[in-house]
Amino acid sequence: VAQTSNPRRERYRRETREEAKEIALAQLAEAGIHGISLNAIAKALGMSGPALYRYFDGRDALLTELISDAYRDLSGAVRAGFEAAGTDTGNGETFRAVAHALHGWARRHPDRYLLIYGTPVPGYHAPPETTQIAASLMRTVLEACAALGPSSTGSRDALTAHLEGSRPWGGEPDADASVKGLALRAWARLHGVISLEVQGQFAGMGFDPDVLFESEVQAIVRDS
């Protein structure tokens, strides 16, 4: 993929790449990951297939970029929720803000959420960059859980004991094992609702997923 130092050309390049990715996301929404096709994107952009190779190294590179973008975007949205939360008055405001940021992002971008947390494509290897984004997202979750205060019921349970001495998750310095346990359980719990909701598994059951999500968030805060 080529480079330019000309500012006008550079800007045009950026815009075209952006537009291509948007079309790719539309294809993702409409036909799944397999529906993302370089040739079809090029046609939608009004250019011929091979022209896209000026902008992306190939299909895999584009896919990788979509995943990284989504992950970074999600992590950023959650972080923003964390930082926008007011001071914690003991009611778990920070955690609630983080949970709702996560949920809100997933609802706004269901396909991109599944790009990150959906069925993995066998044989596809996430770029090393991904690990770092995952860590920074985990860091935010850990901090939000730490803000829930020292846990009451679960502080010395088997999970905490098991996590004692495990490797750091969100970079240094590492969090307490009890906080890690709390974060892990909270993450899985939130993901459980979000995943089922985003995949449409609640269809036809006649209830509002928001109520379920809110109920889970409250339970997590209460149980901490």
Interacting residues toward a second copy by CB under 8 A:
29-35, 114, 117-123, 131, 153-154, 157-159, 162-163, 166-167, 169, 181, 184-185, 187-193, 195-196, 199-201, 204-208, 211-212, 214-216, 218-219, 222-223
| Cβ nearer to a second copy, comparing 76 with 154 | 154
- In whole angstroms, the minimum distance from the beta carbon of 22 to DNA comes to 16
36 binds, among DNA, a second copy, none (CB under 5 to 8 A by kind): DNA
Q: Which spans of this chain sit near DNA (rule: CB under 7 A)?
A: 2-6, 8-9, 13, 16, 36-40, 42, 46-51, 53-55, 58-60
| Cβ nearer to a second copy, comparing 55 with 100 | 100
Contacts of 101-105 with C-beta under 8 Å, sequence gap 24+, read 101/77, 102/74, 102/77, 102/78, 102/190, 102/194, 103/190, 103/193, 103/194, 103/213, 104/77, 105/73, 105/74, 105/77, 105/78
84 binds, among a second copy, DNA, none (CB under 5 to 8 A by kind): none
Q: How many CB atoms lie within 10 A of CB 43?
A: 14
- Which residues fall within 8 angstroms of residue 57, CB to CB, at 6 or more apart? 1
| Cβ nearer to DNA, comparing 4 with 166 | 4
Name residue, tokens 């890690």.
Answer: 180
The phi and psi torsions of 88 (rounded to 5 degrees) equal -75, 125
CA distance 138 to 136: 5
- In whole angstroms, the minimum distance from the beta carbon of 7 to a second copy comes to 40
The phi and psi torsions of 124 (rounded to 5 degrees) equal -90, 130
- In whole angstroms, the minimum distance from the beta carbon of 76 to a second copy comes to 19
**Contact yes or no for 150/112 (Cβ under 8 A):** no
| Cβ nearer to a second copy, comparing 86 with 206 | 206
- In whole angstroms, the minimum distance from the beta carbon of 116 to DNA comes to 21
| Cβ nearer to a second copy, comparing 62 with 163 | 163
